[in-house]
Each structure stands twice: as structure tokens, then as C-alpha cells.
Amino acid sequence: MRQLKVIRKPIELIRENKKAFILMNAVFYGLFLLSMLVTCFFPELQVKAIDSANQQLSSPWLESTAVSAYTSGNILLASLLTFLVNLILGTILTMTGPSLVIPFIGLFMGLYRAIFWGMAFAPLEYQAMLIPHYLTLLIEGQAYVFVMLAIYLQGKSFLFPKSIGIKSCWSGYKHGFIQTAWLYVPIVVLLLVGVFTKPGN
């Protein structure tokens, strides 16, 4: 029964907050497509985005872990390290964590990621090689949409507890934290799937 609850609870949260979930999807993927379209008219944006990504990948701790694992041909280790970077750095430290201190603040990182992806992966004539990455972006993007939903529910529970039948802000904060924990089940699954759908894996 516990195993079934792990599956059932996130689904219940999506059903209970269907409008918010649909809105998060529309905003995230809408910004991604809009950013991609703008980049098609201003290709220099892609150059800047790729340069920025390369600078991040050349940081000492990343270069000595995930990047070195890829260059050495150890795909399994590289995939595991990429998953951990996406989970810890991409969601917990830059989105969920800050939102536990300042409600909703992590939503901006989610929007930034959608815009950045649109610039980096716009299908320009000389970047057609990026097209196979779109399945991965769709899957990983859905993980970040779930993170954004969790951030919304956390902030709503904390700031407006009476709207969900909870008396105090502290009780609402704890309630929102539990909801966030349940939503991390599909987040982890999607990030894992996303890693193993990357071209070359």
C-alpha cells in the first residue's frame, strides 16, 4: 500500500490543483517556444546562451565530475552525475530551497530556465544537431514544471493557509513542505528518465 501511495499522492495533488498545473505548463513551455522564436530572428542570442553554458560547464567542480566522466566515456557515471547536478543544483538549491525562505522566489529561476533553453536550443540552420535534444527538454522541462507547482503550493499554504482550511501560517508551511516532498517523487523520476534520453546515452 505504501508503494501505491507514492504513486497516488502526487496524482491527487495534480488533480486538486489542475488549473495551477496547466498554467505552469503553459507558462513554461510558452516561454520556451517564444524565446526560441525570438532567437530565430536574433541568432546572436544563441551564441551568448551557449557561451554562458560552456562557462558553467568549465567551472572546476563540474569539469572534474560530470564533464570528465563524459569525456572519459563512462556514460553510466556521467548520467548519474548529471542527474545529481540537475536534482541538487537545478531544483533543490536554486528553486525549492530559496522558496522555503522567500515564498515563490524559485518560480523566477524556472522561468529563466525556460527562456535560456529557448535561446540555447533554437533550431537555427547551423544548429540542426540540437533537434534530437527536444525529447529530453520536454521530459526535464516537465520536472521543472512540477518544481514550480510545488513552489506555488508551498507559498500558497504558508501565506494563505485559511484558503485551504488551515488555521496558522506555520501549519500551512508544514503542509506545503509535505506537498513539496510528495511532488519530488515525479520530479526525481522525470529527471532520471531525462538523463537517459539524452542523445548519446
- Where along the chain do its domains lie? 2-196
- Between 85 and 24, whose confidence is greater? 24
Question: Rounded CA gap, 184 and 36, in Å?
Answer: 28
* Mean pLDDT, rounded, of the chain: 88
pLDDT of residue 55: 79
Cα 53 to Cα 93: distance, rounded to the nearest angstrom? 18
151-164 mean pLDDT: 96
End-to-end CA distance of the chain: 34
Grid cell, residue 166, equals 488551515
Give the burial class of 49: count Cβ atoms within 10 A of its Cβ; 0-12 exposed, 13-18 middle, 19 or more buried.
buried
Q: What percent of the chain has pLDDT over 70?
A: 84
Short-list 155, 151, 142, 153, CA closest to 188? 142
Query: What pLDDT is recorded for position 72?
Result: 66
Instruction: Give the C-alpha separation, 136 to 194, whole Å.
Output: 5
Taking 90 as the threshold, does the pLDDT of residue 126 lie above it? Answer: no
**Residues 50 and 31 sit within 8 Å (Cβ to Cβ):** no
CA distance 153 to 163: 11
DSSP letter string over 6-45?
A: HHHHHHHHHHHTHHHHHHHHHHHHHHHHHHHHHHHH-THH
For 67-104, the DSSP string reads IHHHHTT-HHHHHHHHHHIIIIIIIIIIIIHHHHHSTT
What average pLDDT score do residues 120-146 get? 83
Average pLDDT over residues 118-140: 80
Predicted pLDDT of residue 112: 96
Q: Residue 128 — pLDDT band, cuts 50, 70, 90?
A: low
State residue 122's pLDDT score.
Answer: 87
Residue 125 clears pLDDT 70, i.e. is over it: no
Buried b (16+ CB within 10 A) or exposed e, 99-133: bbeebbebbebbbebbbbbbbbbbeeeeeeebeeb
CB 157 within 8 A of CB 166: yes
Residue 143, pLDDT score: 97
